[in-house]
Structure 1
Amino acid sequence: MTTVAQDLPDTGVPRGGVFTGDSQGLHGLVLDVRGGTVPAYTSSGCVAHGELAGLLAGRTDRLDPSAPDSVFHREEHEPLPGERRPVPFLPKSRLLTPAEQRVAAECFARTLATGELTSGPAVATFEAALADFTGLHATATSSGTDGLIVALRSVGVEPGDEVIIPANSFAATENAVLACGAVPVLADVEPERHTLDPVSAGAAVTSRTRAVLPVHLYGRLADMAALRRTADAHGLRVVEDACQAIGVTGVGRHSDAAVLSFNPYKNFGLTGKAGAVLTGDGELAERVRAIAYHGFHPDTKNVKTEPWGLNSKIDNPIASVAMGLLPGLTLKNYRRAFLAGRYVTGLAELHAAGLLTLPSFTPDHAWHLFTVRVPGGPAERERIRARVREDGGVETDIYYPVLTHRQRTPLHGRLFSRSRLPHTEQLHTTAFQIPLHNQLSLTEQNRVIEALHAAVRPTAR
């Protein structure tokens, strides 16, 4: 049995006081719980904090895995004595708990009975709750992809413009640029963060560049302050693909707009595709709202303020479900941060020995995915993944198996045949993801840690 150490470096994040629910606050809470002392917190009253704020006001012991009724206890997923179940990477049947499924069904049924199946009051309510949680203007959209398109168009991206992006993201990032008639231009990433490198982005700027579109990959915030400086030096707009980074401290603070996703697989997942555009600029927020719905003035029926727009607003039933599930948002992010810290300490020996590279346990992360790297390249990576699967019953994944410039379409060949991205390509040959999701049990996580120790250690002999 692998021992999971309980020591993590203190990153100096302030603890106690008003509970903000962002990644810095959750990071500090994880350190508090692991240290055995949780200081007094008071809630800001934000809806998204509901479940976690209730625990902080009363049963803080439930935030500790050792409590019998801990928030980490998942009885329905615990094996019977002698049973050894597989550990799936991201089981679809567990995207929502049974209690969350009931809440979602009840919310949808209530909205169904009203007949308000497209626009409706839940949309504005959800947008207001998002604004309260993020401190930014919020427009809820039909998907994160549509949110990216709306945001890019709202900041002035036109056909023929260039937008700088990384190559190691989901296709939605490049597709949003292409949907605007613009041209995606690739820049390299920072090796430690896996996110867009400000220096490489600056080197990719041409006279046609209009915007920079960094991605907070796996939930880790890109170096937004430096990217903002790069953009300002060239007169560019900045849109953040924050689809994996809900709740991360600083999202939307150094950009013109940021985009979230509520796809069922995300940290805060709904019962269908949905997203949101965030901005601190009130005038830009009005333009976002117009472009997201046919170019219409947000408060005047069928009167255009923009020459064109999309049918990209969230539907009222999905917004209703979102409001029903929203009180659990920061509790989910707390669980993920705690489990990520457990991985970091449980796999620390392998990291110290140079057998496995782990992400740093930092307060600027939503821990949407937990990504590890092996030193030996793709063959060694596949050997380890096979051992973990066959001997340990643990499923892993390579979440984005094909980089943007490696896609085999005529368009990609024309656009990216000369792309040289050494850091991106090196990371891509060594990285893979291990299970980390909202319903991962401690028993399952221990199995993952044990399987990796067993699979990786033979490489030292």
Structure 2
Amino acid sequence: MAAIGRVLRSGQFILGPEVEAFEREVAAYLGVKHAIGVNSGTDALVIALRALGVGPGDEVITTPFTFFATAEAISMVGATPVFVDIDPSTFNINPELIEPALSSRTRAILPVHLYGQAADMDPILEIARKHGLKVLEDVAQAFGGEYKGRKLGTLGDAGAFSFFPSKNLGAYGDGGLIATNDDQVAELARMLRAHGARKKYYNEMPGYNSRLDALQAAILRVKLPHVDAWNEARRRVARTYNELLKDVPGVVIPCEAPYAKHVYHQYTVRIPEGRRDEVQRRLAEMGIGTMVYYPVPLHRLPVYGYPEGTFPEAERAAREVLSLPMWPGMKSDTQQKIWEAILYAINS
């Protein structure tokens, strides 16, 4: 409330000192040269793609098992998303399938760190180096997560973050960020977020009205010093879930890849054998809310329209995944009740 009051008293609500301070602080946290605050995670993807030179006629390799904004952003800049299937153990893009999907039009790879777990970045970056491609990380669900000790969003050419209220670092509304070590990418991103202008009224290209609100920046500045502790609390909640659920028949607990520091934006299990929807319904009847992220893989949406069976692992995940309640302050007795409800739902 003190931070909000500070902004209200200042009367400066668009960019300004709060946004600049947050950008400095989050850049230091991530260990990058540049952090550019924008209006949303979706805008972060769109603007980062354009700043990396992706445009009409290009292709971008990405995963079909993610939120629509990942592919939507590619389409919005005039490029074509080219999907490859996922690794069933991590739900992230399978690096072994990327090279066969490349073409002469491929310009970039867009891995997603889904549910808070890192995609396997070393082979992705090696493919990009080999073929002269850009890499944009979608870090919407993984703020503070790590790959081999490095913060996610700092390994590729740029990282796109979301501060949607439910994220590990969430604002009180929409917000997003682009992180990069590339001076040119940062300069273009700053121009694009402000109608394509370095200087007001001297527009150099068509851009966007996509500036992080000063109120949101002030709120995020208060929350940023706490995010590591909150992520560790999420990891403790995940460990408790793992112990409770590891021997429950009909439930497959998530794995944590050896290269990743998973920050569990979602704790997502599999319920195989076609029982997911039935189990979800029974849990709802007992007052336990769960979510399916995501019931339709992107390639099966009408806007892209790939035939069924094209990416079988993504399709199987969409039939089986179920995200259980997860928040940093979750108590073990609450998890015990959820475990008991799952046992009932599975066995009844």
Q: TM-score, normalised by structure 1?
A: 0.70
Q: Deviations over 1:71-111 (max 9, x none)?
A: xxxxxxxxxxxxxxxxxxxxxxxxxxxxxxxx3xx322321
Identify unmatched segments of 5+ residues in structure 2: none
Contact 1:252–1:280 (CA<8 Å) still a contact in 2?
no
1:216-295 mapped onto 2 (5 Å cutoff): 216-249=113-146, 250=150, 251-295=152-196
Contact 1:162–1:184 (CA<8 Å) still a contact in 2?
yes
2:346 counterpart SS class: helix
Q: Which amino acid aligns with 2:295?
A: P
In structure 1, which of residues 384, 408, 424 is the aligned counterpart of residue 279 of structure 2?
384
Q: Kindly indicate whether residue 98 of structure 2 is the aligned counterpart of residue 190 of structure 1.
A: no
Corresponding residue number in structure 2 for 1:133 = 29
1:412 counterpart SS class: coil
Corresponding residue number in structure 2 for 1:359 = 254
1:221 counterpart SS class: coil
Contact 1:186–1:419 (CA<8 Å) still a contact in 2?
no
C-alpha separation in 2, matches of 1:257 and 1:175: 18
C-alpha separation in 1, matches of 2:186 and 2:28: 15
What is the CA distance between 1:388 and its match in structure 2? 2.5
In structure 2, which of residues 285, 290, 311 is the aligned counterpart of residue 396 of structure 1?
290
C-alpha separation in 1, matches of 2:256 and 2:86: 19
Corresponding residue number in structure 1 for 2:213 = 315
Q: Deviations over 1:21-46 (max 9, x none)?
A: xxxxxxxxxxxxxxxxxxxxxxxxxx
What is the CA distance between 1:252 and its match in structure 2? 3.0
Q: Deviations over 1:303-361 (max 9, x none)?
A: 45x533222120112111211222221221121111011111111212xx5x2111124
Corresponding residue number in structure 2 for 1:26 = none
C-alpha separation in 1, matches of 2:308 and 2:270: 27
1:150 counterpart SS class: helix
1:12-411 mapped onto 2 (5 Å cutoff): 103=1, 106-136=2-32, 137-249=34-146, 250=150, 251-297=152-198, 300-304=199-203, 307-350=205-248, 353=249, 355-361=250-256, 363-377=260-274, 380-390=275-285, 392-408=286-302, 411=303
1:420 counterpart SS class: coil
2:54 counterpart SS class: coil
Q: Kindly indicate whether residue 274 of structure 2 is the aligned counterpart of residue 420 of structure 1.
A: no
C-alpha separation in 1, matches of 2:195 and 2:309: 36
C-alpha separation in 2, matches of 1:456 and 1:195: 27
2:178 counterpart SS class: strand
Corresponding residue number in structure 2 for 1:435 = 325
What is the CA distance between 1:403 and its match in structure 2? 1.6
Q: Which amino acid aligns with 2:195?
A: H
Higher strand share: 2
What is the CA distance between 1:148 and its match in structure 2? 0.4
What is the total number of aligned residue pairs between the two structures?
A: 341
Contact 2:246–2:252 (CA<8 Å) still a contact in 1?
no
What is the CA distance between 1:421 and its match in structure 2? 0.3
Greater displacement, 398-407 / 147-156: 398-407
C-alpha separation in 2, matches of 1:272 and 1:307: 28
Q: Kindly indicate whether residue 338 of structure 2 is the aligned counterpart of residue 448 of structure 1.
A: yes
Q: TM-score, normalised by structure 2?
A: 0.92
Q: Which amino acid aligns with 1:295?
A: G
Q: Which amino acid aligns with 2:304?
A: H
Q: Which amino acid aligns with 1:450?
A: E
C-alpha separation in 1, matches of 2:167 and 2:136: 20
Identify unmatched segments of 5+ residues in structure 1: 1-102
Greater displacement, 112-121 / 279-288: 279-288
C-alpha separation in 2, matches of 1:124 and 1:302: 21
What is the CA distance between 1:260 and its match in structure 2? 0.9
Considering only CA atoms, is the larger Rg found in Structure 1 or Structure 2?
1
C-alpha separation in 2, matches of 1:308 and 1:127: 24
What is the CA distance between 1:442 and its match in structure 2? 2.9
Contact 2:51–2:189 (CA<8 Å) still a contact in 1?
yes
C-alpha separation in 2, matches of 1:112 and 1:405: 45
Q: Deviations over 1:387-435 (max 9, x none)?
A: 3233x43221112222212223xx423xx34871011111211111111
Q: Deviations over 1:170-216 (max 9, x none)?
A: 11111111110111111111111111111222221111111111111
C-alpha separation in 2, matches of 1:383 and 1:339: 25
Q: Deviations over 1:233-276 (max 9, x none)?
A: 22211101110010011313431101111100111111110011
Contact 2:118–2:262 (CA<8 Å) still a contact in 1?
yes
C-alpha separation in 2, matches of 1:222 and 1:365: 10
Contact 1:244–1:368 (CA<8 Å) still a contact in 2?
yes
